[in-house]
Amino acid sequence: MTETLTETSKLTERVRASLQACGVAAEAYGDDHDSFSPLTGERLATLRSSTPEEIDGAIAAAHEAFKTWRNVPAPERGNVVKRWGELLTEHKQDLANIVQAEAGKITSEALGEVQEMIDICDFAVGQSRMLYGKTMPSERPGHRLMETWHPLGVVGVISAFNFPVAVYSWNTALALIAGDTVVWKPSGMTMLSALAADALLARAVAESEAPKDIHQLVVANREGGQKLVTDPRVALVSATGSVRMGREISPQVAERFGRVILELGGNNGAIITPSADLDLALRGIVFSAVGTAGQRCTSMRRLFVHESVVDQLTEKLVAAYGTLSIGSPLEEKNLVGPLINEGSFQAMQQALSDAQAQGGTVLTGGKRVLADETPNAYYVEPAIVRMPGQSKVVHEETFAPILYVMTYSDLDEAIEMHNAVPQGLSSAIFTQDQGEAERFISASGSDCGIANVNIGTSGAEIGGAFGGEKETGGGRESGSDSWKAYMRQATNTVNYSGKLPLAQGVEFI
Ligand code: UN1
């Protein structure tokens, strides 16, 4: 890897200054875990990996801290999260700088990612006063029947490179107010972002009376993460990543009767009906298909366009793609940053050649750019491929900016094609016909966890529950009542009658 070009050393310097501003401790650095920037391919820092004993120690410490933390009143737990949110606000730019350098996001999206953390902190603080249980009428006189939500235990968070800090914060903010403690194994590709986010949380915890061990970070590869999966002290494993990863993790956690929240692959589609506002649809599609260089779980990958508007829309799309500037996210003009690494680039090339072999026509994009200037970085032109129908490649998630365009003549047919993939995260319809919109979000419409109208598939707000069906894993994180997954529910029957009537009219002694 080329290390010290003038440009690249400036990036490294900026990242190091931001890490320092966030309070990342000197002990984090070492000699066995490199962090590279997809912007240039340069090495940003080298860290020290956690040893197996340290990973075990992190779980043990979180397990011990839980015994105290679960008894702290929830609104007081919320104060720690509130302070974390304030520190994230104060260091928004610093953390965004690190996210940008490590995940390759453009400035606006890197700042947006940190904003998403701040938003979930706000949400969790409010939720800390609303861990409501129901009270229901007992069938017996002089009895009270109610439900209480209690802290669950240690939550193991396994997160992906593409949202290196936001998705972790959805889990952590809710876990902490719920009275749980957290052990985090971030993606090995975005450890610096993780260290910075964790250092800010450490500061919030240190300023409070909370046990310092309520949050733990491990620097580990897949093998290290495996400990979180199999250790019975980890009550809940919340994992974001590939379907393959989920398939491995899920049975292992089930085997020990642990809980999982899985947020796995997406293969998100949108339907464009004849009544759609095509200019609005165009902007929604481009943001979702091209934003974060097509590397969001929610990125739009499939488009079903009514045959009466397909030519018009594809022409507009190809023209819009032609205006996108691709290059270093450090330059404000660029809207498309790099892919995370060479493997992603190869996967994109493979998918494009498979698509062509299966009858597809590449309408635009797909080529690598800036290879001379940055030989160790992988910038690509986002691609649009016109597909004759539902071929194999369209059913697979390729984590790169490829948009497959297909046509339909009847909405039922479009919904059927839309639902015909194994994944079920996000979906959208663009229409001005209310009947079509309602049909799409009805029980027999989109089968995804997220179904939008006149908005793209990506860029969800934190207030709604986030997650998907089928191979996406079924988990829900973030807003709404996702907090319940981080708690255990107890049903209490309280008898104040002085007698002992039995339920269902049973007579005994
Ligand atoms: C992800 O890609 O794993 O809805 C999360 C979105 C973001 C979160 C994406 N708010 O696109």
pLDDT digits (tens, 9 = 90+) for 288-300: 999 999 999 999 9
Burial class (CB in 10 A: 0-12, 13-18, 19+), 437: buried
Classify residue 466: in a domain, yes or no: no
Query: Any idea what the Cα angle at residue 148 is, between residues 145 and 150, rounded to 5°?
Result: 155
Pocket lining: 172 vs ligand 1, CB cutoff 6 Å: no
Give the pLDDT score at 82. Answer: 98
Taking only the tens place, the pLDDT of each residue in 5-14 is 445 589 999 9
301 and 189 share one domain: no
Give the pLDDT score at 5. Answer: 46
Give the pLDDT score at 221. Answer: 85
393 and 480 share one domain: no
299 and 216 share one domain: no
309 and 440 share one domain: yes
Listed residue (63, 90, 119, 123) closest to 203, CA to CA? 90
Q: What is the mean pLDDT of residues 423-443?
A: 98
Classify residue 504: in a domain, yes or no: no
Tokens at 149, concatenated: 């939500």
CB burial of 99-132 (b: ≥16 within 10 Å; e: otherwise) equals bbbbbbbbbebbbbbbbbbbbbbbbbbebbeebe
Classify residue 500: in a domain, yes or no: no
Pocket of ligand 1, candidates 466, 472, 476: which has the most ligand atoms within 8 Å of its Cβ, to mutate? 466
179 and 201 share one domain: yes
Contacts of 389 (CB under 8 A, 6+ apart): 359, 406
Closest ligand 1 atom to Cα of 426: 4
Categorize the per-residue pLDDT at 435 as very low, low, confident or very high, splitting at 50, 70 and 90. Answer: very high
Total domains in the fold of the chain: 2
CATH number for the domain that contains residue 378: 3.40.309.10
Closest ligand 1 atom to Cα of 266: 2
312 and 169 share one domain: no
pTM: 0.96
Classify residue 494: in a domain, yes or no: no
Classify residue 221: in a domain, yes or no: yes
Give the pLDDT score at 3. Answer: 44
482 and 428 share one domain: no
Pocket lining: 458 vs ligand 1, CB cutoff 6 Å: yes
CB contact at 8 A, 80 and 204: yes
Taking only the tens place, the pLDDT of each residue in 295-348 is 999 999 999 999 999 999 999 999 999 999 999 999 999 999 999 999 999 999
Give the pLDDT score at 9. Answer: 80
Classify residue 240: in a domain, yes or no: yes
230 and 288 share one domain: no
CATH number for the domain that contains residue 144: 3.40.605.10
195 and 77 share one domain: yes
Instruction: Measure CA 143 to chain center.
Output: 44
55 and 137 share one domain: yes
346 and 330 share one domain: yes
Give the whole-angstrom CA distance, residue 213 versus residue 181.
8
Residues forming the active site: 263, 297
Pocket lining: 459 vs ligand 1, CB cutoff 6 Å: yes
Pocket lining: 296 vs ligand 1, CB cutoff 6 Å: yes
Classify residue 485: in a domain, yes or no: yes
> What is the average pLDDT score of the chain?
96
Taking only the tens place, the pLDDT of each residue in 357-400 is 999 999 999 999 999 999 999 999 999 999 998 899 999 999 99
CB contact at 8 A, 22 and 196: yes
Q: Which domain holds residue 67?
A: 3-264+473-489
Categorize the per-residue pLDDT at 1 as very low, low, confident or very high, splitting at 50, 70 and 90. Answer: very low
Rounded to 5 degrees, φ, ψ at 85 are -60, -40
142 and 28 share one domain: yes
Classify residue 506: in a domain, yes or no: no
Give the pLDDT score at 509. Answer: 87
Quick one: which H or E segment has residue 288?
A: helix 278-290
Kindly tell me if the per-residue pLDDT of 450 is higher than 50. yes
Kindly tell me if the per-residue pLDDT of 470 is higher than 60. yes
